[in-house]
Structure formats: C-alpha cells, structure tokens
Amino acid sequence: MGDLSLNNFDEIYRINDSKSCGAKVDDWLVLFSCKEALRDRVDIKFKSSIKNLNYLIGDLKEGEYDIKINGKIILKKSIDSKSQALVFKTDISDSNISLNIVRH
C-alpha cells in the first residue's frame, strides 16, 4: 500500500472530450489522444485555481506548434518524430483556461 498522503490533492479531475483524454492533478495537466492517433491540434477548456501550471501534451505530430492560452500565443515550440509531446509551463492567473495547440 502506498503513502496515504499521496491522495491529498488540491485539484484533481479527469479531462475527457471526443479527442483528448487526461487529467488535471494539482499543478499538472496531462493530455493524450483518446484514439491513440497522432494529431496536429488540441483544443480544450478547463478550470484551475493554480497560477503556475505544467503541461504534458502527448500524441502530437512532428512539426512547429503555436500554444495559445485564452486566445493569446504564449509560446512556439517544435516537436520531433521521437518525442511526439510538448512539455511547458505557464503563469496564468485566469481560472477559466482555453488551451489551443495548433501545428503550422
């Protein structure tokens, strides 16, 4: 049996829509494709009371991506064919977050 303190999270909930599956656990948001297929776009809305969030977004195609939070580009990152994932951190004080990741 694990340490019971590991179950004491401030924020934990499942994220699931037709394209993305994952979880928001405290200061981490982790998303993957529900269909286990590589994709070139992620659009998800969620709530968070935590200002500094870490993101792990998987199952992405190789290429250059714009990362938008609430309509503003906050970061541009590239993905190679091996990683198929983005890892980044934000400093957003809005509790309603719209995350858009688009390959161009």
Decide if pLDDT at 2 tops 60.
Answer: no
Q: What is the pTM of this model?
A: 0.85
Assign residue 75 the CATH number of its domain. Answer: 2.60.40.2750
Domain hosting 72: range is 4-103
Beta-carbon-side half-sphere exposure of residue 51 (alpha carbons within 13 Å): 2
Counting the structural domains of the chain, the total is 1
pLDDT in tens, 47-87: 888 888 999 999 999 999 999 999 999 999 999 989 999 99
pLDDT in tens, 17-45: 888 999 999 899 999 999 889 999 999 99
